[in-house]
Amino acid sequence: MPASLRRKFNPADLPPAPDLSFEHALWQQGYRFLAGIDEAGRGALAGPVYAAALILPSTREDLLPTLAGLNDSKKLTHAQRTSWAAVLPSLALSCAIASASAEEIDQLGILPATRLAVERAVRTLSPAPDHLLLDYLQIPALSLPQTPLVKGDARSLSIAAASILAKTARDAHLFALDQTYPGYGFAAHKGYGTPQHLAALQTLGPSPVHRQSFAPLHPRLF
């Protein structure tokens, strides 16, 4: 991580909304293609974990005004996320979305599977990134400079944009899974352990897209 960014995070320094402070600091150091990266679905009981990577152009002076209102996906409504997800690919130099399946999560563990999803997304970016901005995550398999930020999706617009792409892509996938595996309520809770989901598990047992390594699925409590 560049020395200028290697300061301890102070919650009092959290900006009102994510901005381009980290991006500008790295652009000024000569990096051209900064990939903001975030994931969605790490804590769910079912479905894949998704990752998105996005490179914003360093040459657009109107970039910050154009991105006004963009925020961490958790702070936006479904309609706002959907609207931004439609716009962001046209604003970015490159963006990519990838996933790791529930089966891969069970085989590897959730952190390695999350890193695998990130690696898959990053390797499909063109142009290739020369630095990664991540939401408190590092990817050892990628030999690139990396800046992991605590609460990165609330501080960096690149990471916030990636969080929107990952979240909307995963939500769409869970809507589809709701049609394939009716009764679990995937469209409503997106695979997370809500009372509705836990009740459905008690009644139906796990589906093929449930993460068998996650409690309460392992050990099974049915």
67-77 residue pLDDT tens: 999 999 999 99
Pick the CATH number of 3-182 from 1.10.580.10, 3.90.950.20, 3.30.420.10, 3.20.190.10: 3.30.420.10
155 near 14, Cβ under 8 Å?
A: yes
What does the pLDDT read at residue 9?
A: 67
> Does 194 have pLDDT greater than 60?
yes
Report DSSP state, residue 152.
G
Q: Can you give the residue ranges of every domain in the chain?
A: 3-182
Query: pLDDT tens for residues 200-212?
Result: 999 999 999 999 9
Q: What is the mean pLDDT of residues 140-160?
A: 96
What does the pLDDT read at residue 3?
A: 43
Question: For 194-203, which contacts have Cβ atoms below 8 Å and span 24 or more sequence positions?
Answer: 197/45, 197/46, 201/45
38 near 169, Cβ under 8 Å?
A: no
What does the pLDDT read at residue 19?
A: 95
192 near 43, Cβ under 8 Å?
A: yes
Alpha-carbon 45 to chain mean position: 17
Q: What is the mean pLDDT of residues 116-137?
A: 97
Describe the crossing of helices 21-28 and 157-180 by its angle, rounded to 10 degrees: 120
> Does 126 have pLDDT greater than 80?
yes
Query: Which pLDDT band, with edges at 50, 70 and 90, does 222 fall under?
Result: very low
